[in-house]
């Protein structure tokens, strides 16, 4: 019996391997066509030269040097160069938005997962959180203008209540309005993965912690947060990658007065400076990948999922 089964098993192994490769081939082709090929083109163009009229294929580091030209010393006012200041500004927005969305997203997900007992109510409240996504990002951003403008509802309320004598200027077209719009737009990207992780937590662990005398805060910090770290990581990756490359929100809510890397790339593209824009895109991608790499060192997503 053994002399017949062993060759049969060995012969069926290559066929199974070929079948698996055929199953993966369509996804591999889509990934290569829509991700690897465009990424390779951007990297290639970043080393090209250009002038006012044409792109000049070749290999040059001129674009990368031009981005950080003059950054070896401070300006006459004691500030950093434009490129470094813009990258730091983008990182500042990214850090602020990440922190605020994490706090709000964790709180909302915790409430839905542990304080709403009815599955039907959980679903209804979860769908309610997605209502803003039923309209476009631009419409949601513009909706803040009549609220935060100099003659908007917020300023009218503050002046009418006697809290301020004159309208507050920094409510719109400022860092505050940009961060507010980012939080409004992208908090849902933090809520969904954290909520999913919390729903997978075994409730008997919470009961065991309570029986052991742990307080609510101790249970939260020592049980719920560690078991929700996969959702926190995935949500963080979503928010960080979106904010780092966003230029529409900063342009609209910043009144075209606040710079970001995404905004610089958009401006360079509009002026047909494609190699310079590609070089900035490569640097931005490298920074985002380093941030993601640092986050994935904290949690092994493949083991947790």
The stretch 115-122 carries a mean pLDDT of 84
Tell me how far apart the alpha carbons of residues 231 and 218 are, in angstroms, rounded to a whole number. Answer: 20
pLDDT in tens, 89-99: 999 999 999 99
The stretch 113-119 carries a mean pLDDT of 85
Q: How many CB atoms lie within 10 A of CB 17?
A: 10
pLDDT in tens, 162-220: 888 888 888 888 899 999 999 999 999 999 999 999 988 888 888 888 888 888 888 88
pLDDT at residue 205 in the model? 87
pLDDT at residue 191 in the model? 93
Q: Using an 8 Å Cβ cutoff, are 41 and 274 in contact? A: no
Tell me how far apart the alpha carbons of residues 275 and 52 are, in angstroms, rounded to a whole number. Answer: 12
pLDDT in tens, 49-79: 988 788 889 898 999 998 888 777 767 666 7
Domains of the chain: 79-304 (1.10.3720.10)
State the average pLDDT for the chain: 85
pLDDT at residue 101 in the model? 96
The owner of tokens 């500042």 is 92
């Amino acid at each position: 019996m053994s002399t017949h089964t062993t060759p049969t098993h060995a012969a069926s192994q290559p066929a199974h391997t070929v079948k698996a490769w055929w199953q993966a081939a369509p996804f591999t082709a889509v990934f290569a066509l829509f991700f690897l090929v465009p990424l390779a083109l951007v990297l290639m163009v970043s080393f090209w030269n250009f002038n006012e009229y044409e792109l000049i294929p070749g290999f040059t580091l001129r674009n990368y040097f031009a981005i950080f030209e003059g950054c070896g010393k401070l300006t006459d006012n004691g500030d950093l160069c434009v490129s470094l200041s813009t990258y730091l500004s983008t990182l500042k927005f990214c850090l602020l938005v990440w922190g605020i969305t994490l706090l709000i997203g964790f709180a909302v997900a915790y409430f839905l997962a542990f304080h709403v007992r009815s599955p039907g109510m959980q679903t209804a409240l979860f769908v309610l959180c997605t209502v803003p996504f039923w309209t476009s990002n631009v419409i949601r951003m513009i909706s803040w203008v009549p609220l935060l403008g100099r003659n908007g509802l917020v300023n009218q309320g503050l002046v009418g209540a006697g809290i301020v004598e004159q309208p507050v200027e920094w409510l719109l077209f400022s860092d505050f309005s940009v961060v507010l719009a980012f939080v409004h737009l992208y908090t849902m990207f933090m809520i969904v993965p954290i909520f999913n992780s919390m729903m997978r937590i075994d409730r008997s662990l919470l009961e065991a912690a309570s029986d052991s005398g742990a307080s609510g805060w101790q249970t939260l910090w020592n049980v719920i947060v560690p078991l929700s770290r996969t959702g926190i990581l995935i949500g963080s990756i979503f928010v960080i990658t979106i904010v780092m490359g966003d230029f529409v929100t900063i342009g609209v809510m910043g009144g075209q007065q606040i710079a970001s890397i995404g905004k610089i790339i958009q401006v360079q593209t509009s002026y047909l400076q494609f190699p310079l824009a590609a070089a900035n895109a490569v640097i931005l991608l490298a920074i985002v990948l380093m941030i993601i790499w640092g986050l994935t060192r904290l949690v092994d997503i493949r083991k947790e999922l």
